[in-house]
Amino acid sequence: MLNNKSNMLIILMINLSLIFIDLSSASSMFLPPKTALVIGFEETYDISLLANSLTDNGISSTLIIPNGYDIYEHLVEVDVIKLNFTIDKTSTIEAKALKACESLISDEKILKTIGEIQPTFVIFPALRHDGCLLPWTKYIGSIPVIWSLGIEEEHYAMEKTKFGIPISTDGIYDRFWENIHHKTIIGRSKNNYITPAMNLIKKYIKNYEANQDNIDDLYSNVELLFWAGDSILRNSFASLTQRFVETGCHHCRGPKPLPDDLQKSLIDFRLGTIVVLLDETYAELIKGVARQLPQGRQGQAIIWKTKLTKFPTEKPDNLFLHSNVDRQDLIGYSRTRVLLCHCKDTEFLEAIYHGTPIICVAKNPYDMLNDKRAVKLGMGISLANEYTVEKIIDTIANIHDNKNYREAGRMVSQSIRDRPIPSTDKLIFWLDWIARNDKNIIEFSAIDRATSVKTFAEDVQLYIGILIGALFGILFATTSALSWYLQKKTNKPTRMKLKRHNK
């Protein structure tokens, strides 16, 4: 009797297992575990943050970057593959990207590893990556996902994917030169990167004919674009599809306690801490600022996140160096009063998320735009290209003594935190969606990407141009006719006098 019951129980369990297997295989929502290959030949620190966010949310990630490039210091369960190649430091950025591409597609060991991973997605920037990675992604049978960070990359990705149209509030002169600049970047990438990269694909991947695809055909297979910015920074595009996804600050989180030794050092300074994220070339400027700040227990400390293990010269007692601490833990530290940085997009977003007032030491025109944005948001003071010790000291004092900057930072922080759908949730949802629907993509937008998009404003400008042209044409014709008539009338008496004289 006992054996019969045991047999019946076993049979029942087997039947239930078969039923569950049958249901899961029949469901369109069932998918095997997803894996992502995240590749970056430049901006490697920021793209490593993306790989870490994916792994944190259940998508196993492998990061591929050139050897010696920066990555996030606290990657968790992210496998890192480093590309080994040598190139002259004076080489162009396109030449470096081509060398990285060749190192990737020619390394049999890497290709074997990727074959074992069988990545569901390959995520990479468009600019100086597409000519290599779009055909290569198609060859390995993965889903291409474009990731864009920075103004140049955003415009390039939008031009290629046709997921949105550019918008601008600048004047006609600025818009004209901005458009010329972006068209120059596209042309330079095509000539100096895309064509040579696709030749490399033909060289190293024998059974893949790269000449069967042009770059536009390959972009037609791209169904997802991650924008690593945020509308609180700028809004340069009008989206034409839901698959243009805003994912800026996907990695942002609350601060964790600082390392014990650093915490003990900083807490002795009662006026708080200045966090510095500047390059090593600004060492003397940072030292000068530290010396001019209030000293001793009643003073302020500077914590500089840097790779330097030792200061080049004798450093002040209130200046501390640290290479391994997470910058969000510094920016969000309760005693942080000001963030001094270059105002790159990711740094700026982290400052916004934590509500920390910011001072920008801009290195390029795009950093200067973020500087202006910080001033407009009320959480920063512009140095106006005056990067001197005295100017920075005065600015720090103004921010420290005026609570309005901290209050503006708090309000901006609340606006980015209090959103119905966090960036991380959007990131994961759309990767899940594209994995489920890759073979059966439904275009939510009625606009075909192959069709050029026109706006009502462009129509109005065309009609105004035609009207103005017509008015000028009429005015020119009238003036010409009047001039001819007057000239003819003036010349008539002269001709009559000549006739009389001849007689």
> What are 52-101's pLDDT values in tens digits?
999 999 999 999 999 989 999 999 999 999 999 888 778 899 999 999 99
Cα 172 to chain centroid distance, Å, stands at 26
384 Rama class: left (phi>0) / alpha (psi -120 to 50) / beta: left
| CA dihedral of 358, 363, 368, 373, whole degrees rounded to 10 | -30
Between CA 52 and CA 65 the distance in angstroms is 14
Which residue bears the tokens 């597409």?
Answer: 130
Between CA 322 and CA 326 the distance in angstroms is 10
Burial of 492 (0-12, 13-18, 19+ CB in 10 A): exposed
Q: What are the tens digits of pLDDT across the range 11-51? A: 656 555 555 445 444 444 445 678 999 999 999 999 999 99
Predicted local confidence at residue 165, as pLDDT? 84
Q: Which helix (H) or strand (E) holds 451?
A: none
Superfamily of domain 260-417: Glycogen Phosphorylase B; (3.40.50.2000)
CATH 3.40.50 for the 35-248 domain, yes or no: yes
- Mean pLDDT for the chain? 85
Question: What residues are paired with 109 via a beta bridge?
Answer: none
Average pLDDT over residues 153-157: 92
Q: ∠ CA 27-52-282 to the nearest 5 degrees? A: 155
Q: The pTM is what?
A: 0.83
pLDDT of 255 over the 70 cut = yes
Between CA 278 and CA 285 the distance in angstroms is 10
Q: What are the tens digits of pLDDT across the range 425-451? A: 999 999 999 988 876 655 555 555 556
DSSP class of 38? E
Burial of 163 (0-12, 13-18, 19+ CB in 10 A): buried
pLDDT of 499 over the 60 cut = no
Residue 453 pLDDT grade (very low, low, confident, very high; cuts 50, 70, 90): low
Pinpoint the residues of the chain covered by CATH 3.40.50.2000.
260-417
pLDDT of 257 over the 60 cut = yes
Q: What are the tens digits of pLDDT across the range 294-329? A: 988 889 999 999 988 777 778 899 999 998 899 999
SS3 category, 19: helix
